[in-house]
Structure formats: C-alpha cells, structure tokens
Amino acid sequence: MWKRAGAELIGTALMVAVGCGSIAYGASLPIICLSFAIAVITAILIFGPISGAHINPAVSIAFYRHGDLEKNALIPYISAQITGGILAAIAISATGAGTGPTTIAANHNYLSAFFIEVFITFVLMANILWIISKSNNRIIIASWIGGWVGILAFMFGPATGASMNPARTIGPNLISGIYSSMPLYIISTIIGAWLAAELFLRIKPQKEMSE
C-alpha cells in the first residue's frame, strides 16, 4: 500500500506542478490545457502500473463506488493525492510565481460554477470508465484521459478553472490563502465523479443481460 500511495502522491504532485505551474507563470489557455493533458498522460504511463494513477480524490472515490478500488485503499489514496497537491503548490510558490489556484470567473457565481464542475467531472469520469472498459492499452488509456482533461480545461477553464480534481484545487488554494471556494470544488467534483460511477453501475447489468 505504501508503494501505491507513494505513486499517487508523486503522480498528483507532477500534475499540479506542471499544470498549475503553467497557470502561475502566466501561460496562455492552450498551453495551460496542454500542460495538464501532458502531465496526466505522463502520470498514467509512469504510475498506472503501480497504483492506477488516479491522481484525483474524486476519481478514487468513484472507482471505490464502481468496485475498482478496495475500501482500505481509499483513505491512503486520498491522503497521498492531497499531500502531493500541497507539496507541489509549495514548490511552485517557492519560485515566487504564485501557485495557480482555481478561481471562478467574475461573470459566474458559486451556483453556476458548482454545476459546471459537477458536469465536467462527470464527463471526465465517464470517459475514464468508458476507456478502461474498452482497452487495456495504457498508451491509449492515458492519451484518451489526458486528452479529455485538456479539452474540458479549454472549454470550461475560463469559467471555473476546470478543477475536476479536489487535490488540484486544495493544494494551490490552500497555499494561496483562497479558502472560500474550496468546499465548492471539493463537493462538486466528488458528486460529478460519483454520478458517473452510478451511471456505469446501472448500464453494466443491462449490457450483461442483453449479452
């Protein structure tokens, strides 16, 4: 379990350092989205064989609900992911660039941001569950998931920051002192991922019956 938790910590730290680091250094939206996508792809390719490379507490919770993660691994995974996000945020902050926190655009309120995050996390988790049901090729899986992270970040990043990941928000926002929106991002992303798991649990029995 220590090895798996360590992989989640390092993988999440890599994703936050690269993705949020690009925000902190003022990169353009396409570069930010590409940075997150490449970081996710890299983390899955490197750490997937060890821990599954969830690098996202919402994903781990959804995998637990779906039956793909044992109960005694849930807390170690989430703890490692949050720790990785915090350590990465500290490292980015130490460079003097900031932390790249998740923020809501001025033309959006908390309610609209909440539903956007529920929706995009649902879409991301649904695509994760779909691709792992269709392929065992890690390169295809990593590219598909990373690609969707980039697409959703490009489409919704300007509105809510496109968190889709509590660890991606907790680390940078905690270190930046931006606390008020943290519960919104934590709850909405978990709900979105959980709903995707629930949907796939209901689809699966129907498919098995039809077969």
| CB neighbours of residue 145 within 10 Å | 24
Rounded to an integer, the average pLDDT of 59-71 is: 95
Query: Does 108 score more than 60 pLDDT?
Result: yes
Rounded to an integer, the average pLDDT of 100-107 is: 94
State the pLDDT confidence band at 207, using cuts at 50, 70 and 90: very low
Q: Indicate the residue type of 185.
A: Y
Query: Does 154 score more than 90 pLDDT?
Result: yes
- Reported pTM: 0.93
Cβ–Cβ under 8 Å, residues 125 and 188 = no
Model pLDDT, residue 13:
98
Q: Let me know the angle formed at the C-alpha of 135 by 129 and 138, rounded to the nearest 5 degrees.
A: 95
Nearest to 40 by CA among 170, 185, 164, 194: 164
Question: How is the chain split into domains, by residue range?
Answer: 2-210
Q: What CATH number does the domain located at 2-210 have?
A: 1.20.1080.10
Longest CA–CA separation in the chain, Å: 58
The span from the CA of 91 to the CA of 166, in Å, is 18
Query: Does 1 score more than 90 pLDDT?
Result: no
Query: Does 208 score more than 60 pLDDT?
Result: no
